[in-house]
Amino acid sequence: MAIRSVNPASGQLLKEYEPLTEAAIERKLELARQAFHSWKQTPFSLRREAMQKAAEILERDKQQLATVATTEMGKTLASAVAEVEKCALGCRYYAENAERHLAAEETKTNASHSYRMYQPLGPILAVMPWNFPYWQVFRFAAPALMAGNVGLLKHASNVPGCALAIERVFLEAGFPEGVFQTLLLEAERTGKLLEDDRVAAATLTGSEPAGRSIAKIAGSQLKKTVLELGGSDPFVVMPSAMDGEIARTAAGARCINNGQSCIAAKRFLVADSIYQEFERQFVEAMKALRVGDPMDPKTDIGPLATEKIVSELDEQVKRAKTAGATVLTGGKRIPHSGNYYEPTVLTGVPRGSDVFYEELFGPVAMLFRVRDAQDAIELANDSPFGLGASVWTRDEREQELFINGIETGQVFVNATVASDPRMPFGGVKRSGYGRELADIGIREFVNTKTIWIR
């Protein structure tokens, strides 16, 4: 079956791609194996030069690359340009810091000389999602390639143009053939790839079912995995942070990337004393967001990526209403061509209902009242997910309570959750395991080797 690139704003078929044959996959796997043996011996200085060149190409071609992302998955053009720029930032970070992060580390023992060193594992399979079609890949590839590994990308089937563009960037930057390869193939063939002895490990960003599948196969093969899965991030507002901007900030945090982000704020936990005013301002802010053509610079929210995603979101809103929730604004599809959904605010979603514990992947927010910081922490933690949390308070005591009490991979105080090459990124509970970015991220796919000399 052909891999189809479809414009979610219009439903227009952009292009069809033939999946790789078994023979073609075999050639690529063998090329990856051979490329690894030479690439792992390549000095950091040459790896650095190629990665810096990749950053330059990304910045040079950012408009063209952004247009591909917008037409394939519907994010606004402005956000797509910003995403490509962030990829360049990530490339530069690892070009400048990889050698330092992987330097041998002396340890005093009763040996004459003892230290640890870091060596690459081999070809790494990256199973990546469509919502940030460039950044998700580069935040894996920049550290992995700088560490001396090689990459095999199985991208989401609705962004093949982005996947091929990434491979072209690395080739033009001077990475040898086989160091980074895009594999156009159906999702059900991914497991067989991971079972191949030439694949050393895998990383996946995506849904919980996809993560379970990859983890199961990798576990049976005793191969390392890093999983970044879903999220239902709380956005907590306490009285000391209530001002004229917080509701607009909250609406922006919910609707980033058309609401299709694992770390987008999804549950808004607001102190009872300010709840009524926050709700009023938040609903106004959500209503004010402009939905439309993602190529138009005035658009705030474009279409959702696929027909399936918008249908599933609409079904979740209907189930929330059946369970007793109230729709304060929005609540339905926008009736014209494309996968558009109204910015929506739900209140009164019952704890214990299915929707309360699910991830809403689109511009739909859930509002909740809380008594105080401790009540907010308890509600925030009543979730199967633990990716990120954004808490807003000027009270230092409350800040410490949230930092220590919320069960997530990251807590942002008086700021919205974001990924940054300089800081580790990942989650706990059903949001996955392992970390990307920073020094920890580059060490996920290396052999930490102990050296003891007597």
- Predicted pLDDT of residue 248: 98
- Predicted pLDDT of residue 393: 98
Asked if residue 355 is part of any domain, the answer here is yes
378 among known catalytic residues: no
Contact 232, 256 (CB under 8 A): no
CA distance 377 to 427: 17
Contact 431, 106 (CB under 8 A): no
In a shared domain, residues 193 and 77? yes
Burial of 99 (0-12, 13-18, 19+ CB in 10 A): middle
In a shared domain, residues 222 and 249? no
Nearest C-alpha neighbor of 302 from the set 63, 6, 77: 77
Domain count, the chain: 2
Measured from the Cβ of residue 177, the count of other Cβ atoms closer than 10 Å reads 11
Half-sphere exposure of 270 toward its Cβ, with a 13 Å CA cutoff? 24
Q: What is the 3-state secondary structure (H, E, C) of the chain?
A: CCEEEECCCCCCEEEEECCCCHHHHHHHHHHHHHHHHHHCCCCHHHHHHHHHHHHHHHHHCHHHHHHHHHHHHCCCHHHHHHHHHHHHHHHHHHHHHHHHHCCCEECCCCCCEEEEEEEECCEEEEECCCCCCCHHHHHHHHHHHHCCCEEEEECCCCCHHHHHHHHHHHHHHCCCCCCEEECCCCHHHHHHHHHCCCCCEEEEECCHHHHHHHHHHHHHCCCEEEEECCCCEEEEECHHHCCCCHHHHHHHHHHHHHHCCCCCEEEEEEEHHHHHHHHHHHHHHHHHCCECCCCCCCCCECCCCCHHHHHHHHHHHHHHHHHCCEEEECCCECCCCCCCECCEEEECCCCCCCHHHCCCCCCEEEEEEECCHHHHHHHHCCCCEECEEEEECCCHHHHHHHHHHCCCCEEEECCCCCCCCCCCECCEECCEECCECHHHHHCCCEEEEEEEEC
Residue 125 is which amino acid? L
Domain that holds residue 346: 233-420
CA distance 146 to 91: 9
Asked if residue 410 is part of any domain, the answer here is yes
Nearest C-alpha neighbor of 206 from the set 223, 185, 190, 227: 227
Asked if residue 426 is part of any domain, the answer here is no
277 among known catalytic residues: no
Radius of gyration in angstroms for the set of CA atoms belonging to the chain, rounded to a whole number: 23
Residue 356 has which token pair?
A: 């309360």
- Residue in the block written with tokens 């001396």: 148
Residue 186 has which token pair?
A: 């159906």
Asked if residue 425 is part of any domain, the answer here is no
In a shared domain, residues 17 and 88? yes
Asked if residue 143 is part of any domain, the answer here is yes
In a shared domain, residues 219 and 251? no
Q: For position 72, which CATH number holds?
A: 3.40.605.10
CA distance 365 to 286: 9
In a shared domain, residues 239 and 380? yes
In a shared domain, residues 213 and 289? no
In a shared domain, residues 250 and 194? no
Catalytic residue among 72, 83, 167, 228: 228
Residue 67 is which amino acid? T
In a shared domain, residues 68 and 107? yes
pLDDT tens string, the chain, 454 residues long: the values are 899 999 999 999 999 999 999 999 999 999 999 999 999 999 999 999 999 999 999 999 999 999 999 999 999 999 999 999 999 999 999 999 999 999 999 999 999 999 999 999 999 999 999 999 999 999 999 999 999 999 999 999 999 999 999 999 999 999 999 999 999 999 999 999 999 999 999 999 999 999 999 999 999 999 999 999 999 999 999 999 999 999 999 999 999 999 999 999 999 999 999 999 999 999 999 999 999 999 999 999 999 999 999 999 999 999 999 999 999 999 999 987 799 999 999 999 999 999 999 999 999 999 999 999 999 999 999 999 999 999 999 999 999 999 999 999 999 999 999 999 999 999 999 999 999 999 999 999 999 999 999 9
Asked if residue 409 is part of any domain, the answer here is yes
CA distance 415 to 394: 12
- Predicted pLDDT of residue 194: 97
In a shared domain, residues 178 and 285? no
Maximum Cα interatomic distance, the chain, rounded to a whole number of Å: 75
Asked if residue 270 is part of any domain, the answer here is yes
Residue 394 has which token pair?
A: 């000027």
Catalytic residue among 262, 358, 398, 436: 262
Nearest C-alpha neighbor of 289 from the set 240, 344, 229, 338: 344
In a shared domain, residues 214 and 260? no
Q: For position 249, which CATH number holds?
A: 3.40.309.10
For the chain, the first-to-last Cα distance in angstroms comes to 60
In a shared domain, residues 211 and 151? yes
- Predicted pLDDT of residue 322: 98
Contact 424, 437 (CB under 8 A): yes
- Predicted pLDDT of residue 1: 82
In a shared domain, residues 62 and 196? yes
Asked if residue 24 is part of any domain, the answer here is yes
- Predicted pLDDT of residue 335: 85
